[in-house]
Amino acid sequence: MTTYRRITALAAIAAAGLAIITVPAAAQQRDPAYAAARANGSVGEKPDGYLGIVSTPTPALQRLVNDINIKRRAVYAEKAQVNNATLEEYALSSGCQAILRTVPGEKYQAPDGTWHTRTQAAPFRDPRCP
């Protein structure tokens, strides 16, 4: 019984340790190629919660944007379910926040579809955004 308990305790500690290791690994920084594309304005944030190509699309840029958007969609789907919302609702709500978090110089898309460079001023967002 004591041995069983000890094993259980050890397993719990191991599981907790794994969780600690996994969480910071998920919250990584942007890939250098993605960070560069944001900084030089070739990609920008769209109101629907996804990344868009601002300049002329190249295969490399398209791959980068698709890769990010597939990952975002997976996160939105999971979080939408937890919050009893639809994927589109969660994505749009995230778009509001993502545009708000752009830094001056980065690109974002206004509700009318035009691309803007973020300045110190508040960005043009969907009227439903908080």
Q: Which residues contact other proteins (rule: CB under 8 A)?
A: 26-31, 68, 71-72, 75, 79, 83, 85-86, 88-90, 92-94, 96-98, 101, 128-130
The smaller minimum CB distance to other proteins, of residues 28 and 56, is found at: 28
Q: Which is nearer to other proteins, 10 or 22 (CB)?
A: 22
Helix (H) or strand (E) holding 5: helix 2-26
- Centre a 10 Å sphere on the Cβ of residue 93 and count the other Cβ atoms it contains: 20
Task: Compute the least distance from the CB of residue 104 to other proteins, in Å.
Answer: 17
Q: How far apart are CA 93 and CA 97, in angstroms?
A: 7
Residue 96 DSSP label: H
- Contact yes or no for 54/41 (Cβ under 8 A): yes
116's enclosing H/E stretch is strand 115-117
- The least CB distance from residue 9 to other proteins, in Å, is 29
Minimum CB–partner distance for residue 11 and other proteins (Å): 26
Pick 28 or 119: Cβ nearer other proteins: 28
Give me the least distance between CB of 34 and other proteins, in Å please.
8
| Sheet containing strand 43-45, strands side by side | 51-53, 43-45, 107-109, 115-117
User: For other proteins, which is the closer residue by CB, 6 or 128?
Assistant: 128
